[in-house]
Amino acid sequence: MSVITVERKILEKNDEVARQNRELFANHDLFVLNLVSSPGAGKTTLLERTIESLKSTIKIAVIEGDVQTDLDARRVAKYNIPAVQILTRGGCHLEAHLVREAVTNLDLRGVELLIIENVGNLVCPSNYDLGEEMKVVVASTTEGEDKPLKYPAMFRNASVLIINKIDLLPYINCSLTALRDNALKINPSLTVFETSCTSGAGIGAWCDWLVEHARRKPAS
Amino acid sequence: MHELSIAQSIVDIVGQYVPPEQAAAVRTVNVRVGALAGIVPESLTFCFTAITAGTPLAHAELAVDFIPYRVSCAACLTTSPAEPGLALCPHCGSAETTVLSGTELQVVDIELNSIATEHV
């Protein structure tokens, strides 16, 4: 018997394309976020509120990832911003090469902020680097306060947590404090926002943070 | 459930080391999967078997070394297994922890049957 030593990362091909994406984004001075959550946490609605608030302040482009349909891309395209849909056709996550192809279909002139909305899934997208600056995870109060403990990898790899649907807290059995504390047990350095896309609570603070980070150019 | 695309990536990596005419000699592909990698070992081996069926790698076995999640703590200077993903030290509760293992997702090596290689 003979043995060939390999010792290579299984996802190194994806990581390499992600590195190229990161280089491309840097060349365009783009601040890029990878928005992740379980299905129905409110990623697309949050995106709509964000675009409404920031449309006259900062130029935004969006890449929408879904298993099927271009419904989400149509929702954000209504705001007259560059938007493109990636259909994974069964795939449970976006990969770096899909983002690279999508970017070629986007007019990035003048764009400062690119938000990639990943497929709704708290497991698989945590493994795949897309070339983003950071992952933003959305957890809604209706999902329960134990979500971060059940899906730790996603909360560990994210830099920002948005706790959404806080307007529903009086009607459901979820403690905001427990949800936040559980997330911080996994990742103590998370920046946390609490939002409601219905009442508009917290959207201003989130948008201020976005503008500040999108305009903070890397030290050269 | 992205074990299928992970299995495909493993097959691609094997292809870079073993030419097609020697692929039938591959006995075992050893991989390392961390507890926090989001991969179910049984699903991964199932997917590997499914995508290699009818190919020269059909008789190759995928052996998964499942690596537990372990953290070391700078506050109480201990090293211990922890609930996957938890950043808090299971001994003292400090957040000053470093993850020692559990995030691995690697192909370690490929074992080939020498008898089969001689026939190639």
How many CA atoms lie less than 13 Å away from A83 in the CB half-sphere? 20
Q: Which domains does chain A have, with CATH numbers?
A: 12-215 (3.40.50.300)
Closest-CA distance of chain A to residue B25, Å: 10
pLDDT of residue A90: 85
CA A146 to chain centre: 20
The rounded percent of chain A whose pLDDT value lies above 70 is 98
The 8-class DSSP code of residue A217 comes to P
Judge whether A134 and A158 are in contact, CB under 8 Å.
yes
Tens-place pLDDT, residues A147-178: 999 999 999 999 999 999 999 999 999 999 99
**Mutation site for A-interface testing, chosen from B107, B108, B120 by largest number of A Cβ within 10 Å:** B107
Judge whether A54 and A47 are in contact, CB under 8 Å.
no
Residue from the list A3, A10, A188 with its beta carbon closest to the beta carbon of B9: A10
Mean pLDDT (chain A) is 95
Residues facing A36 on adjacent strands? A137
Residues A83, A63: Cα–Cα separation, whole Å: 6
Closest-CA distance of chain A to residue B89, Å: 10
Instruction: Tell me how crowded residue B51 is: count the other CB atoms within 10 A of its CB.
Output: 15
Query: Residue A82: what residue type?
Result: P
Compute mean pLDDT per 10 residues along chain B, 120 residues long, and list them: 90 96 97 94 97 96 97 95 92 93 97 66
Residue from the list A8, A93, A188 with its beta carbon closest to the beta carbon of B87: A188
pLDDT of residue A220: 45
What average pLDDT does range A185-208 have in this prediction?
A: 97
Tens-place pLDDT, residues A3-51: 999 999 999 999 999 999 999 999 999 999 999 999 999 999 999 999 9
Per DSSP, the residues of A16-38 read HHHHHHHHHHHHTT-EEEEEEES
A139 membership: H or E segment, kind and range: strand A134-140
pLDDT of residue B1: 64
For residue B106, list chain A residues with Cβ-Cβ distance below 8 A: 7-10
The predicted complex's ipTM stands at 0.87
Q: Which residues of B lie closer than 8 Å to A, measured between beta carbons? A: 1-2, 5-6, 9-10, 12-13, 17-18, 27, 31, 36-38, 83-88, 95, 105-114, 117
Residues A8, A119: Cα–Cα separation, whole Å: 27
Residues B69, A91: Cα–Cα separation, whole Å: 27
- Looking at chain A from residue 134 to 173, which residues have their Cβ under 8 Å from any Cβ of chain B? 149, 152-153, 155-156
- Subunit contact B112:A8, Cβ cutoff 8 A: no
Residue from the list A4, A11, A149 with its beta carbon closest to the beta carbon of B17: A4
Q: Where are the alpha helices (DSSP H) in A55-175?
A: 71-77, 96-104, 147-150, 152-157
- Subunit contact A8:B87, Cβ cutoff 8 A: no
Sheet holding B79-81, edge to edge: B79-81, B70-73, B97-101
